[in-house]
Structure 1
Amino acid sequence: MILTIASAAQFLAVLDLIAVTIAFPAIGQDFAPAPASALSWVLNGYTVVLAALLVPAGRLADEAGRRRCFLIGMVLFGLASAACGAAPTLTLLVVARVVQGAAAAVLIPTSLSLALPAFPARERATAVGAWTAVSAVAASSGPVIGGLLAASDWRLIFLINVPVVLLAVGAGVRLLPRSARGPRQALDLPGTALVLVCIGALVTACVQAPEWGYAAPVTLAVLAAGVLAGVLGVRHVRRAAQPILHPVLFRTPGFTPATLGLLGYFVAYGAMMLAASLLFTDVWHYSVRTAGLAMAPWPLTVLVVSAVSGRIVGAVGGRGTAVIGALGFVAAALWWIVLAGDGSGGTHYAVRFLPGLIFAGIGTGLYQPVMFAAAGSLPSSQLSLGSGVLMVSRQAGTALGVAVLVATMGGQQHPEFGALRGGWIIAAVMSAGAVAAALRLRRC
């Protein structure tokens, strides 16, 4: 039951990120004549704040208690969702989305860190497999759910969260184990500020570059600020007595390869997901609903593979399972590079595209559980913090994958197939990097 509650939080946080994208036209019509630059922050405000706060929120949860932080985050997420659904102006909607992103930053790392200790080490890959499957289903069903709800009223995308939050909070109060507070440490204000600036600036540069321009002074300035904050942050971590990110975190066996591997994997994931969606809607001219259904084999395969991922780990080990998963992503990208074309129709989809979705589902179902389970090897006092770091890889990687694909499209609103093939080439390269990271895991 703990895993169910944790997975519900993960589902809501991911679904809101994806479904809102589909509702953009409807939101724009309601708040016309709002400029596109302002409207984009309905999505980007959530994305940037979520990514920037994951690490500080994870640290806070380890010190203040994961159960307490999870329940507070869930209540805040529900209130922010209600505010989004009732927002009378675009400004208030963006503010509510920022609050929603902050709440999600608390929910995501605490959900994983609450679930992992409930399972023995040998079963954690299976547990994370279920948690991963929920995330994949939320991401892949987002276009379908978002399209269906937006067709009636885009506000339902947010309001539907409220009853789910009420159920999750009620179950959480009764069933979630109370976790002891971690050792009290001095607040690392400089380190926290550097983490916020580094991650926030880098993700902002990724999500805003298509609108600002990839070589625009503002894009380069924000990117430079993020890189500088990162360099100063590494220097600070090495010198501070109690840094927000202690170096011992990255000396834990398997944690650094998992962090880097997930970053590469999610760059590939972001590029592949967007390229597939654009192929369906802009090249093959599917409706939003049909495009969402066409993506369904991906999450369905994840569900099947996740159910047996624990057995596969038992048979070939965690490292072998992760390598197979990353190779599945490589195979998906190569399949689409070679075989997907600008034709359409049922036969074309079934022969030229569907196998790639199945390969991608196998990759998701095998790679993510092993890599996210690396958080389980951390000391209990750093479970939420470590989970937050791994989630930063997810958020930053996905944003970077989308940004790089948009760059290869050269600003085309309706790209041709050749531009989308560039996204799959990027995905193949980054997936190969994910294979290399998996090979660095200890044999287990």
Structure 2
Amino acid sequence: MINSYSNGPSPVEALSLYIQMLREGAKANKFTFPSLLKACNLRSSALEGKQIHCQVLKLEREMDGFIQSTLIDMYANSGCFDYAAQVFEEISQLNVVCCTAMINGYIRFGSLDKAGQLFNEMAERDVISWSAMISGYVQMGRYKEAFSLFHEMQLENIKPNQAILLALLSMSSSLRSLRLGQWVHAYMIKSRVSWNVGLSTSGVDMYSKCGALEMALKLFRKIPRKDVGSWNAMISGLAMHGHGQEAIELFHEMQVAGFRPNDITFINILNACSHSGLVDMGQCLFESMIHNHGIDPKVQHYGCLVDLYGRAGLLSEAERVVKLIPMKPDAMALGSLINACRIHGNLELGERIGRLLIQDSPSTDGYYVILANLYASFERWDKVVEIRDLMGSRGSERNPGYSLIEVNGEARQITVCDERESCMIPN
């Protein structure tokens, strides 16, 4: 019963049942504690987890590897990494389960190099440990190491699990590498890997971001049991390619199919309206989100509305929305408004917003560049120099921009000199 509750939607019931069990005189054994620790892990509760740990030490002379690995995972997930490390250091005979739990702990706390060191020192590695390490590299954006490790795994004839394939699809999306994404897709077909909803949704996202919208739609239509995330991924793909009307049609199809849109759905559909100039439709959808679906707008929704008005040249409406935002406007909303001012020739409003951004976050280099570009578009070179000097005096350095392009199937990073873009000062 405790195990069932720990795997169910109310893990706290497992802890309540354990208390009842103790009151009735029944003793826990080594099979009881992993389920209890899993319940604490799901609740991210270090306090209850420590209490269970004390029970383990009191009742068990020696902890088995399963209890130890669950303790490490519970402490790491609860933010108590020192406790996780202490449990790991006290293990006399390390096994693959405990090492994998510690690798996940290192990754969760951003210590990827320590995770890699432990992985390399492991005497035995299973597909779960490979999965943890490859997924960690992908999460941290260290794609070269992720792919190198995957290649090493292939040489050892270890078949990738769904978590590894999901990480590879995510890497393909981030790198915009269609060839890598297609290879993963082909591998899954050849190996007869089951396309669950997570992998299918990730595939839709990958094909959309790599520009293969037809393939994204084809894969989306083949998903037998879609969830809201699947619909969101496809709506987002249509939005980013400027297919606003098609995105709206899919949005309505989603509701007819019985799926209730969430806040992410509305961010995607509002972006679709913005990129396609569908101002009236965007306004209606924003109101519908509040009144018909009961979703309170977040700063991202207001940012979409600002971008919608800004792209259409309705700068006064965009400024009105900025003033109505109940929370602090984010840089994306204000940055899009400044860019709209640059495109539609409103120096006064763009300057006012840009100065506020710099005043609020003086160390953010991007705000200086946005304002400098605004001045440059109006050939106000004196103001451009002023912003550059102000940027230097406050110790904010502009990092060179870069783009990822695919050359012969290989993603390459191209560093972009940003001097002309951020200053635009003629020779």
What TM-score results when the alignment is normalised by the length of structure 1?
A: 0.23
Q: Going by fraction, where is helix more abundant, 1 or 2?
A: 1
TM-score by length of 2: 0.24
**Structure showing greater relative contact order (alpha-carbon pairs closer than 8 Å, 6 or more residues apart):** 1
